[in-house]
Chains A and B, each alone.
Chain A
Amino acid sequence: MTKRFGKVVACDEVDFTLRRGEIHGVLGENGAGKSTLMRVIFGLTLPDKGVMKLDGRSVRTLDPLEAGRRGIGMVHQHYSLVDNLTVWENAALGEQGRIDPAATKQRIREISEKYGLEVDPDAWVRDLPAGIRQRVEIIKCLRREPRIIILDEPTSVLTPAESEQLFDVLAEGVKSEQWAVALVSHKLDEILRAADRITVMRHGRVVERYLTVQADAPSLARAMVGRPVALRAVTAGLDAAASGAPVGKAAPTGSGEDEGAGFERAPPVLRIEGAAVKAGDGSVLLDGLSLEVRAGEIVGMVGVEGNGQTPLADVMSSMLELDEGRVEVAGRAVTTGAAGAMARAGAAVIPADRHRSGCVLGLTVAENLMLSLLDRMHNRGLLRRDAIRRNALDLVEEYGILTPGPDTPLGNLSGGNQQRVVLARALSADPKVMVAHQPTRGLDVGAIEYVGDRLRRAADDGLGVLLISSDLGEIFALADRIAVIYQGRIVGGMPRSELDMERLGLLMGGAGAAEEAA
């Protein structure tokens, strides 16, 4: 199959076979052509060349409805759910004829039960956290009883536990109902964990095919990127997941204890005491959260998504005002919710959703890069265009941002390069403390490696880092100390050198939900 978009060859004579009763992992960096291949199978994109055979017969899926009739279902990378509808209404979208609410809800409950995908059919989708929305997507797909299931980057917003559960569901379906599953991902560990067979794509071509039993992380990574990569973030997570035991030895820098002792003496650059805030509708966002980050230390914050991570990042972005509690940056109390107060005090934030509060797609690269330096970039109100340009060129070079030029709109850059811009702008103001919320979400291996290195290096230079991530591998690879957030407060923590996976899991699940989590 070949597909071109203008001059770009998205898929170049790709051969791909999906067998019944098998999970087929498709691995590749952003832009490798994985999604295009899947979209062609599902009929969302028409190929320029090539044939598709289903059960030995040549077919041409012209649109998703036809694909659906042939038993092909797809779970998309970006949710295709309507926020202002309930779960069952979303599931019923695309139905023809009369809709029977009771029957639809009943069917959802059956699927929920069968596959352990717990969800309330009457809940509003807008109220659901990312992980549950993914469940709704999957239920929506399973409801039509597909034989072939395509999952495009299904885990990019899931916690490790949720990912595990998803893979269990898939394994179960493959075994009992002979599904054929195509699992697209750029995460090595989950492909190795879940797939039976692996196809690696790069620049629109299939570069390697493996049976999972023959594959290992380093060779997959090499095939995917085309060069050797340092795999510490990826493999640390893998080891942890595989062994379920303390992984102190998997940590890269070894000298954890000495450093730990050093941080004890370092001054705290961020101190949060009893932070509490309620949302407009009365729900509790933060509930007496207290936390300290010292200079040169990376504190990894783990927890199931939706337990207060985003409100915390919003507070540190001056976007949310606390009802109670105080925040000190570099030893001085900072007014919460006052425009720019946190940034002025020396707190920088890499938000989880960079398009919401990290960068501005409509402004140019240079304008984005000056955002944290506004005060220095004008002369009595007149913008210093030379200084802005020089600043942009310097940062573009220093952070290896791939852009046609400083005056290109940021929206034209790839996600990885946008994230580099966010990182560059956050670090450019010489912050004392950095809150990095899911800084590598959606990035490919090379970019993940880069962001991790950069944070580590900044910490070595004395920056205090609060790394909020649902990617445990990333936390284990980077953090000196781990804090667990649950329902808006810190419920426990441990130095990385004393990492205890079981205790961590219990803390993340909350004491009461201990058994479910395990």
Chain B
Amino acid sequence: MIPGAPPAPGGSAGGWRGRGETALLYLLSIGVTLLISGGLVTITGNSWTQVMGALLNGAFLAPGRWGNTLVIAAPMLLVALGMVIGVKSGIFNIGQEGQLLMGAMAMAYVGTKLAGPGPLLLVGGLILGTLTGGLFAALAAVMRFRRGVPEVISTLLLVFIAFQINGFAITTDWFLRDLDPNRPSRAVTSAQLPAEAHLPVVTLFGNEFHIGLIFALAAAAAVAFLLTRTSTGFKLRLLGSSPNVAQNVGVAVARWGSAALFASGALAGFAGAVMLAGGASSSRLTSGFASNFGWQGLLVALLAQSRPLMCIPMAIVFAGLRTGSGFLAATGVDRKIVDVIQALLVLALLIPPAVQFIRDRRKAAAVAATGAPAEQGAG
């Protein structure tokens, strides 16, 4: 199923009965996933309760851990929101991993190469990171609307170009490479972002998280508002539903499609800048800095079925799996098992909407077959 596939006609999820059924489906498929995962853990010779406990402790229960999880969730949420804007506009930007990296690079450049007061560097870096991510995605828009190159392919391939640019940047003396002879590690990285240019940190119940989280939550609300309440959002949704009608009523496909792609990339770029300024990999740009945040953000949007507010809980679940797996190492279980559990969980969360989709289609087909007015001419 494609994220944001138009809600099947009939909207049979409505009503309490429908909602109850959906909830039950989710519970059921998650339950089955837990059973299978338990089986896998047991087969590999480990204790299921121990693994589960480690995951939960690492993600939420141990002191200070949920703050950690939220810090991880913030950039994933931002990436997912960018995906949502794209999908709603009929644009499939799947290159967030690269756009995020470009945003982080811009932040690193501003923070480590330019002089100025810390807060100014921070704000400047965040803005430049956002723009860089957006412009990097806009390259795909140029290819799409000038030459007809599908953006699914171009955004994906641009990820690898971003990796190369990043590699060049952190190994090149005049660019981002850390030239300090006393640097802590021998790995090639950028210099560390000065402490004054870090995002302010909030402490709540012994948990610390930076205000990037607040930005991300605000962005989720803003995207939801944009899509449902504003004429801009309506035009984007119109573009996503019917480019022909959009063109007819004055929503130029190339202009608005490019705007959607830019916005999508900008959110990923912002996510990258937030990560660096929020202390990810010790606020140094490394070769593996993006570390799958871009890809996982896509999964978040997919599982949230392109609903901006639903992205919030989904991002927290994925962030929890990440932070939880950190604790797993202590139990002696291979961390790869977490990847398997995560994949199973993705499948589990995809099943209920898929079932719903198939059911609605059957229903629509049955109605269409009667020739009853409800669906005449829709086929």
Bound together, the chains give a CA A412 to CA B246 distance in angstroms of: 21
> Which A residue sits closest to B252, measured CB to CB?
A339
B370 in contact with A10 (CB, 8 Å): yes
Instruction: Enumerate A340-357 residues with CB–CB distance to B below 8 Å.
Output: 340-344, 349, 356-357
On chain B, the residues within 8 Å of A442 by CB distance are 377
Which residue of chain B lies nearest to A415 when distances are taken between CB atoms in the complex? Answer: B377
Within 8 A of B (CB), among A1-58: 3, 5-6, 8, 10, 30-36, 39, 44-45
Question: B369 near A39 (CB under 8 angstroms)?
Answer: yes
Given A317-B248, A363-B238, are A378 and B230 also a contact pair (CB < 8 Å)?
A: yes
Q: Which residue of A lies closest to B249 (CB)?
A: A371
The stretch from B5-13, B16-24, B98-106, B304-312 touching chain A is B5-13
B241–A362 touching, CB < 8 Å? yes
Pair B371/A30 contact, Cβ less than 8 Å: yes
Chain A residue nearest to B233 (CB atoms) is A383
Nearest neighbor of A44 in chain B, beta-carbon distance? B369
Partner of A35, one of B7, B238, B371: B371
The reply on A318 being an interface residue by CB < 8 A is yes
Given A31-B373, A415-B378, A442-B377; A318-B247 close (CB under 8 Å)? yes
B26 close to A (CB within 8 Å): no
Decide if A360 is an interface residue (CB 8 Å cutoff). Answer: yes
Complex Cα spacing A69 to B255, Å: 56
A469 beta carbon closer than 8 Å to chain B: no
Within 8 A of A (CB), among B355-379: 366-367, 369-379
User: B91: shortest Cβ distance to chain A, in Å?
Assistant: 16
Main secondary structure of the interface of B (DSSP, over half): helix
- A152's nearest neighbour on chain B, judged by CB, is B371
* Cβ–Cβ contact B235 & A374, under 8 A: yes
Chain B, range 1-54, C-beta contacts under 8 Å to A: 6-7, 9-11
Question: What is the chain B residue whose CB lies nearest that of A373?
Answer: B249
How many Å lie between the Cα of A169 and that of B301 in the bound state? Answer: 56
Residue A487 is within 8 A (CB to CB) of chain B in the complex:
no
Contact status B378-A361, CB under 8 Å = yes
Q: Closest CB-CB distance, A353 to chain B, in whole Å?
A: 9
CB distance from B81 to the nearest CB of A (A): 19
A193 on interface, CB distance cutoff 8 Å: no
The chain B residue with its CB closest to the CB of A418 is B377
- For residue A319, CB closer than 8 A to chain B, the reply is yes
B93-125, CB under 8 A of A: which get 1 and which 0? 000000000000000000000000000000000
Does A359 sit within 8 A of B, measured CB to CB?
Answer: yes
- Interface residue? B245 (CB, 8 A): yes
Closest to A443 in B: B377
A343 near B249 (CB under 8 angstroms)?
yes
* Interface residue count on the B side (C-beta < 8 Å): 39
Q: Is the CB of B11 within 8 A of A409?
A: yes
In the complex, whether B164 has a CB less than 8 A from a CB of chain A is no
Is there an interface contact between B244 and A317, defined as CB atoms closer than 8 Å? yes
Q: List which A359-416 residues lie within 8 A (CB) of chain B.
A: 359-363, 367, 371-372, 374, 377-378, 381-383, 385, 402, 409, 411-412, 414-416
B242 at the interface (CB under 8 A from A): yes
B188 CB, nearest partner CB in chain A, Å:
47
Chain B residues, CB < 8 A from A31 = 370-373, 376
Given A8-B370, A349-B248, A357-B242: A339 and B253 within 8 A (CB)? Answer: yes
Tell me, rounded to whole Å, the shortest Cβ–Cβ distance linking A345 to chain B.
11
- A414 is contacted by which of B11, B235, B366, B374 (Cβ under 8 Å)? B374
Question: Is B203 close to A, CB under 8 A?
Answer: no
Do the beta carbons of B375 and A414 come within 8 Å of each other?
yes
Q: Residue on B with the closest CB to A385? A: B229
A78 within 8 A of B: yes
Q: Is there contact, CB below 8 Å, between A363 and B237?
A: yes
Quick check: B251 and A340 within 8 Å, CB to CB? yes
Residue A431, interface by CB 8 Å: no
Q: Is B60 interfacial (CB-CB < 8 Å)?
A: no
**Is B250 an interface residue, CB under 8 A from the partner?**
yes
B contact residues around A33 at 8 Å (CB): 370-371
Min CB distance, B275 to chain A, in Å? 31
Bound CA–CA A459/B277 (angstroms):
65
User: Contacts A383-B234, A416-B376, A418-B377 given: A10-B248 contact, CB under 8 Å?
Assistant: no
A371 with B373, Cβ < 8 A, contacts A339-B250, A340-B251 known: no
**B14 CB to closest chain A CB, in angstroms?**
11
Q: Which residues of chain B are within 8 angstroms of A414 by Cβ–Cβ distance?
A: 373-377
B230 pairs with A381, CB closer than 8 A: yes
Q: At the interface, yes or no: B185 with Cβ under 8 Å from chain A?
A: no
CB distance from B307 to the nearest CB of A (A): 15
Q: Which of A45, A319, A372, A418 contacts B244 (CB 8 A)?
A: A319
Most buried by A among B230, B371, B375: B371
Complex contact B238–A339 (CB within 8 A):
no
A78 to B235 Cα, complex, angstroms: 32
With beta carbons under 8 angstroms apart, the residue of B242, B248, B255, B376 that contacts A343 is: B248
- Known A360-B238, A371-B238, A374-B235; contact A340-B370, beta-carbon cutoff 8 A: no
Complex Cα distance, B255 from A344, in Å, reads: 18
Q: A36-B369, A36-B371, A382-B230 are in contact. Are A360 and B377 (CB under 8 A)?
A: no
A358 at the interface (CB under 8 A from B): yes
A403–chain B nearest beta-carbon distance, Å: 11
CB atoms of A378 and B250 under 8 A apart? no
B182 within 8 A of partner (CB): no
Chain B residues lying within 8 Å of A317, measured Cβ to Cβ, are 244, 247-248
Within 8 A of A (CB), among B220-276: 229-232, 234-235, 237-238, 241-242, 244-253, 255
Contact of B371 among A34, A339, A341 (CB under 8 A): A34
In the complex, the answer to whether B369 meets A5 with C-beta atoms within 8 Å is: yes
Q: How far is the CB of B370 from chain A (nearest CB, A)?
A: 4
Return chain A residues, CB-CB under 8 Å to B253: 339
A358 to chain B, nearest CB (A): 7
- Closest residue on chain A to residue B238 by CB atoms: A360
- Shortest distance from the beta carbon of A405 to any chain B beta carbon, whole Å: 12
Distance of A3 Cα from B375 Cα, bound (Å):
17
Shortest CB distance A330–B (Å) = 17
Contact of B247 (CB < 8 Å), options: A10, A45, A319: A319
Contact of A5 among B232, B366, B377, B379 (CB under 8 A): B366
The complex places the Cα of A415 from the Cα of B252 at a distance, in Å, of 28
A66-106 residues with Cβ-Cβ distance < 8 A to B are: 78
Cβ of B370: which chain A residues have Cβ within 8 Å of it? 3, 5, 8, 10, 31, 33, 36
Cβ of B156 to closest chain A Cβ, rounded Å: 26
CB-CB under 8 A from B378, the residues of chain A are 361, 411, 415
Chain A CB within 10 A, most for which of B10, B248, B374: B248
Q: Once bound together, how far apart are the Cα atoms of A414 and B247, in whole Å?
A: 25
Q: Are A361 and B232 in contact, CB atoms less than 8 angstroms apart?
A: no
Residues B250 and A374 in contact, CB atoms below 8 Å apart = yes
In the complex, which of the residues A78, A357, A416 contacts B245, with contact meaning CB atoms closer than 8 Å?
A: A357
The residue among B237, B369, B379 with the most chain A CB atoms within 10 A of its own CB is B369
The reply to whether A382 and B252 form a contact with Cβ atoms under 8 Å apart is: no
Binding site for B on A (CB under 8 A): 3, 5-6, 8, 10, 30-36, 39, 44-45, 78, 317-319, 338-344, 349, 356-363, 367, 371-372, 374, 377-378, 381-383, 385, 402, 409, 411-412, 414-418, 442
Known contacts A344-B250, A412-B9; can you find 12 more A-B pairs with CB under 8 A?
A8-B374, A319-B244, A339-B251, A343-B249, A356-B244, A360-B242, A361-B6, A361-B241, A374-B235, A381-B230, A382-B229, A414-B376
What are 20 of the A-B contact pairs (CB < 8 Å)?
A8-B367, A10-B371, A30-B373, A33-B370, A34-B371, A317-B244, A319-B247, A340-B249, A340-B252, A343-B249, A343-B250, A357-B242, A361-B378, A363-B237, A374-B249, A381-B230, A381-B231, A402-B373, A412-B9, A414-B373
Q: Which 5 A-B pairs have the closest CB atoms?
A: A340-B250, A415-B377, A339-B252, A378-B231, A357-B244
